[in-house]
Structure 1
Amino acid sequence: MRITQGAFSFLPDLDDTQITAQVEYCLQNGWAIGIEHTDDPHPRNTYWEMFGNPMFDLRDAKGVMMELEECRKAHPDAYIRINAFDATGGFETVRLSFIVNRPAEEPTLRLTRTDVRGRTMNYALSAAR
């Protein structure tokens, strides 16, 4: 099962040239870049681990790509995403977020439906490995 979170998630994985182009777009708009990783891609797990500090003053995509490569080396079997933050409104707002690394084998999520009183149904997501 392919995890679909963030922009471009229904497209084939971006290669490093395409990732660099997206990072350059973010930097041209003055957005800060942050790299995050996780081994739990559950849709409600919105707080992934930061890799390093957000790159607020960076103006060159090569710096982001070097940091991404370090993250890939440190966490080769994790999900890694790039977030672009815009602070022009006085607070950090995510403008773009996309996955740039996936494990070789992605986990499968199972949806379980339970019928309860009347017409009420409860749904639960669980990992099925």
Structure 2
Amino acid sequence: MRITQGTFSHLPDLTDEEIAAQVAYALEQGWSCSIEFTDDPHPRNSYWEMWGLPMFDLADPAGALLEVNECRRAYPDQYIRFNAYDARYGRQTTALSFIVQRPAHEPGFRLDREETSDRRVRVRMHPYALDRPQGERYGQR
């Protein structure tokens, strides 16, 4: 199962050249950039770990690509995403966000159904990755 979050998630993984083109677009718009990673890509997990500090003064897409590749080396089996923020509205607004790395194996999610009183049905999404301890969720099986 392929996690579909952010822009371009329905497309094949972007190459480094395509990532650099998207970073260049973000910089042309005046957006600040950051890189984040996680081993829990649940759709409601909006707080991924930040790689370094946001790149407010970035001028060249090569700088962002360098940081993406450093994050890839440090976390080869985790999800990594690139974010661009638009500060024109006086608050941090995500203008562009896309995944730049995925684990080799994406275990996916299951739906847990629970019947409650008055014929109500609750459905919860459970990522299979959470069945393993943090840091070991996407390692070799």
Distance in 2, matches of 1:108 and 1:2, equals 7
RMSD, aligned α-carbons: 1.1
Distance in 2, matches of 1:115 and 1:121, equals 5
Deviations 1:64-105 (A, max 9, x none): 000111000000111000000111122221101000000010
Query: Structure 2 stretches of 5 or more lacking a match?
Result: 130-141
Distance in 1, matches of 2:107 and 2:81, equals 17
Deviations 1:17-70 (A, max 9, x none): 111110000000000000000001111110000000000011100000001110
Distance in 1, matches of 2:128 and 2:48, equals 21
1:23 aligns to 2:43 (yes or no): no
Q: How many residues get paired?
A: 129
Using structure 2 for the length normalisation, give the TM-score.
0.87
Identity %: 57
Deviation at 1:117, TM superposition (A): 2.4
After superposition, residues 41-120 of structure 1 pair within 5 angstroms as: 41-120=41-120
Using structure 1 for the length normalisation, give the TM-score.
0.95
Distance in 2, matches of 1:73 and 1:79, equals 12
Query: Structure 1 stretches of 5 or more lacking a match?
Result: none
Distance in 1, matches of 2:120 and 2:58, equals 51
- Give secondary structure in 2 for the equivalent of 1:26: helix
Distance in 2, matches of 1:112 and 1:79, equals 24
Residue aligning to 2:125: 125
- Give secondary structure in 2 for the equivalent of 1:23: helix
**Poorly superposed stretches of 4+, deviation over 4 Å:** none
